[in-house]
Structure 1
């Protein structure tokens, strides 16, 4: 049968196919993806490109940037990874996942162009996103790095603004065993003379050195931009931000003093706001600061990032479950702080006598399990340890043994149950939970996605 007459593959069939095309799931390097990009004539996908890298917080930055620009009437494309329920979530235009057909069309073009070149699953997907964005007449493209930065497929596109959300230990096999080494990899997205915005006030010196070598202006919280809550403490409802806004190639001072505290981490929202202000697209903020502040409050006030400390209803129950894709010690510490606050808030009610935290967990084998456990051990009362169907997942029995060994080493008591699947573990946690207990699901995107799929019936 001629190729033109062969039946077209569906999106699910394409995804299954490209998963098997390359011998390695992760294969760092730009040479192969650049060859195919050149054959496809892939160029800069929008007049302004913002590339976001970091250990944690990338998704919050992307979501904030998307909301800010769209609130100003701009057309925005966002590329993120991984997804939770549908692959289409990775490629969004105007806040909506693109269609199956758009992805299939892009995959067909890539397959025809790559010929002898082998591409990884992520490289295939990155090229598809860039093809789709080229045809979408975007004003802004926000690209999230998949792993590291320097050798990530996203880095074939030159960023006008580089954002570094955080730097901590994760993916050491590919990025290095120290924050300094990891920062050097992430600094690979910097371009000569282009701004770099960091969410951390004290990033590793290697990152600052890389920026200086390229003459990149660096924006750090507490220095080039500042933010703070007005009332102070966790109950603050108003925050303020002072930074710089690019207008006609000049950076002018800009400040907002009556911003509503959003659901996302303020450190991420503040740095995303600084990056947006440097784009040259938000000049209205200078001439109509009050109006722009109102726009920020409307667009960010109810913004919630799926799978990040997100509460979900449990059908047929009065309880909710918190899902969080935390999978490294840095994110686990943030989750522990949130759980501590949640428990304290419930126990503040004199009618509530106890509030126990029940945590459903499944993790990849290559993660820092000890660091993850140590971050959460003082908050979790019951562990429900499970396994998901992926070769990189650490078997539940092995993870449970690690937890028991760590508890024994610190002379701590630990309650651990082992399950064959994430959904089984969640069902047990739900059945055993009292009304005021807190149920949490975390450890990986896949752990969270399996519970989200079960709750939605998908």
Structure 2
């Protein structure tokens, strides 16, 4: 097969969550275990870090990978979903795996695919583990796909586990309460492997404490060890002063991921790096300080308050649930603009009414949809938005919407594209104002 034929086979032959939603979610690890056994259990051939959470796990994964790379390690990074190229999911030191490997792996595993009919995600996890083992990485940062306990990635034995936060998302699969969702994500905790918790509330802390005691592992609540004493937003960078509660030392960090919501993630990252340093990894404070200003350059992270055009500003953000939109609202309070245009598309299985209710009322809206079956059609989204006072026109796709908004926007306006990872992934870059 050619690479294009291989990708078409993977996308069409295997149940894919981005296309069909919950029907693609396999609630056990049987297929992943079977696949990896057939491949010689590659997941045991490299060291790893495991990262779960409702929001922030992608950013934290990329920041941790940047820290390891800066520390001199050959670093694997597995994340999902991809924005434009399937191989974005599987990187080593910021470089995507080769097309030749994707073809070779798929042809090798194809008979087993036909026999056990795994999901798309199960195959991509096995593919990533195989690439990292084959390339002999020093460490791999592994982002959970969905939940944790039954996620395909949950067959690794990591150096450290991280749970960024718990929010209301994927309730149809993970549960309808914060405690239920926390229980699923806490399923990545392993006996004797410390786990750093980013954010918690009493409802989720009780769950974390209970499961940690059950599996006999140490919990570290990052917010209890470090805090932000000052921060500024300058030239699309966050400049953060953080205090270590134990030593009372204050240190400055510069972060090229400018979303204000990264203030929560950076505390998690700093504590995780500290825990790893105590285990002998080269992830001390100076390494972290050198890594964080170049996360995007080192790992190729996109879609987190990403500025792709100036005058007017066009910003991409993959925020798509209640917490994600609240974070966007917080960011908007710090960004000057004349008029705000929001191009939005969502998928059907999100809590759409909640999101629409907290979106800014003073924006001009432009409704569209990603080109996947899971996407809510633009007209339906427009009708739901109208009920909460958000009005605007509909567009067949995000690029048609962006072209029209660029034609009418003033140079001092801000154009935000959000609501779906898949929508952001379809934005054509570079863009030009006609």
CA contact (8 A) 1:319 1:435 kept: yes
Q: Verify: 1:240 aligned to 2:239, yes or no.
A: no
Change (3 A) 1:99 1:281: farther
Q: How does 1:38-57 map to 2 (within 5 A)?
A: 38-45=37-44, 47-57=46-56
CA distance in 1, matches of 2:101, 2:174: 33
For structure 1, which segment, 418-427 or 274-283, has the greater mean C-alpha deviation from structure 2 after superposition? Answer: 274-283
Contact 2:308–2:429 (Cα < 8 Å) also in 1: no
Deviation at 1:397, TM superposition (A): 0.5
The answer to whether the 8 A contact 2:52-2:185 is kept is yes
Which shifted more, 92-101 or 205-214?
A: 205-214
Deviation at 1:255, TM superposition (A): 7.4
Evaluate the alpha carbon distance shift between residue 190 and residue 361 of structure 1 in structure 2; reply closer, same or farther with a 3 A threshold. Answer: same
In structure 2, C-alpha distance between the alignment counterparts of 1:427 and 1:450, rounded to whole Å: 13
Residues 1:417 and 1:110: Cα distance change in structure 2 (over 3 Å): same
* Structure 1 position 439, deviation (Å): 0.3
Cα deviation for residue 211 of structure 1 reads 1.4
Residue 308 of structure 2 aligns to a residue whose secondary structure is strand
Q: Distance in 2 between matches of 1:115 and 1:421?
A: 35
Question: In 1, distance between residues paired with 2:54 and 2:72?
Answer: 30
Where structure 2 has 5 or more consecutive residues not aligned to the other structure, the ranges are: 16-22
Cα distance change on mapping 1:115 and 1:255 into 2, 3 Å: farther
Do residues 19 (structure 1) and 11 (structure 2) align? yes
Q: Does 2:138 align with 1:139? A: yes
Computing the radius of gyration from Cα coordinates, the structure with the larger value is 1
Indicate which of 389, 414, 423 corresponds to 1:447: 423
Alignment partner, residue 357 of structure 2: 374
Aligned mates of 2:169, 2:27 — CA distance in 1: 15
- Following TM superposition, where does structure 1 have runs of at least 4 consecutive aligned residues deviating by more than 2 angstroms? 18-28, 43-48, 112-115, 231-238, 240-243, 253-261, 276-286, 292-298, 302-305, 452-456
Contact kept, 8 Å, 2:312 with 2:409, in 1: the verdict is no
- Specify whether residues 36 and 232 from structure 1 end up closer, same or farther in structure 2 by C-alpha distance, changes over 3 A only: closer
Instruction: Report how far residue 233 of structure 1 moved.
Output: 6.5
CA distance in 2, matches of 1:99, 1:358: 38
Secondary structure of 2:370's counterpart equals coil
Deviation at 1:268, TM superposition (A): 1.0
Match of 2:63, SS? helix
Contact 1:201/1:221 (CA < 8 Å) preserved in 2? no
Q: SS at the partner of 2:365? A: strand
| TM-score, scaled relative to structure 2 | 0.88
Matched, 1:310 2:306: yes
Q: CA deviation at 1:320?
A: 2.8
Please tell me whether the aligned partners of residues 323 and 441 of structure 1 are also in contact (alpha carbons under 8 angstroms).
Answer: yes
1:147 to 1:232, Cα distance in 2 relative to 1, 3 A: closer
Q: 8 Å contact 2:256–2:293 — kept in the other structure? A: yes
Is 1:393 matched up with 2:369? Answer: no
Equivalent position of 2:251 in the other structure:
258
* 1:365 corresponds to: 348
Which residue of structure 2 lines up, in the alignment, with residue 194 of structure 1? 193
Partner of 1:340: 333
Deviation at 1:20, TM superposition (A): 3.0
1:241 touches 1:270 (CA, 8 Å); kept in 2? no
In structure 2, the partner of 1:403 is 385
Matches within 5 A, 1:99-110: 99-110=98-109
**Whole-angstrom CA distance in 2 between matches of 1:26 and 1:284:** 35
The 8 Å contact of residues 48 and 279 in structure 1, kept in 2 or not, is answered as no
**CA separation of 1:293 and 1:149: change in aligned 2, threshold 3 A:** closer
Q: Does 1:426 align with 2:388?
A: no
CA shift, 1:35, in A, is 1.3
> Alignment partner of 1:237: what SS?
strand
Relative to structure 1, the CA distance from residue 119 to residue 386 in structure 2 (aligned partners, 3 Å threshold; closer, same or farther) is same
| C-alpha deviation, 1:36, in angstroms | 1.8
Q: C-alpha separation between the residues in 2 aligned to 1:365 and 1:47?
A: 38
Query: CA shift at 1:454, angstroms?
Result: 6.3
Which residue of the partner structure matches residue 166 of structure 1? 165
| Structure 1 residue 282, shift from structure 2 partner | 6.7
User: Residues of 2 paired with 1:32 and 1:70: CA distance?
Assistant: 32
8 Å Cα contact 2:53-2:163 kept in structure 1: yes
2:226 matched residue in structure 1: 226
Task: Map Cα deviations across residues 396-435 of structure 1 (whole Å, 9 max, x no partner).
Answer: 110000001122xxxxxx4311111111111111112111
User: What is the CA distance between 1:333 and its match in structure 2?
Assistant: 0.4
Write out per-residue CA displacement over residues 351-396 of structure 1, whole angstroms, 9 at most, x where no aligned residue. Answer: xxxx111000111011111121122234x41110012221110011
User: Residue 75 of structure 1 aligns with which residue?
Assistant: 74
Preserved CA contact (<8 Å) 2:344 2:365? yes
Corresponding residue for residue 151 of structure 1? 150
SS at structure 2 position matched to 1:155: coil
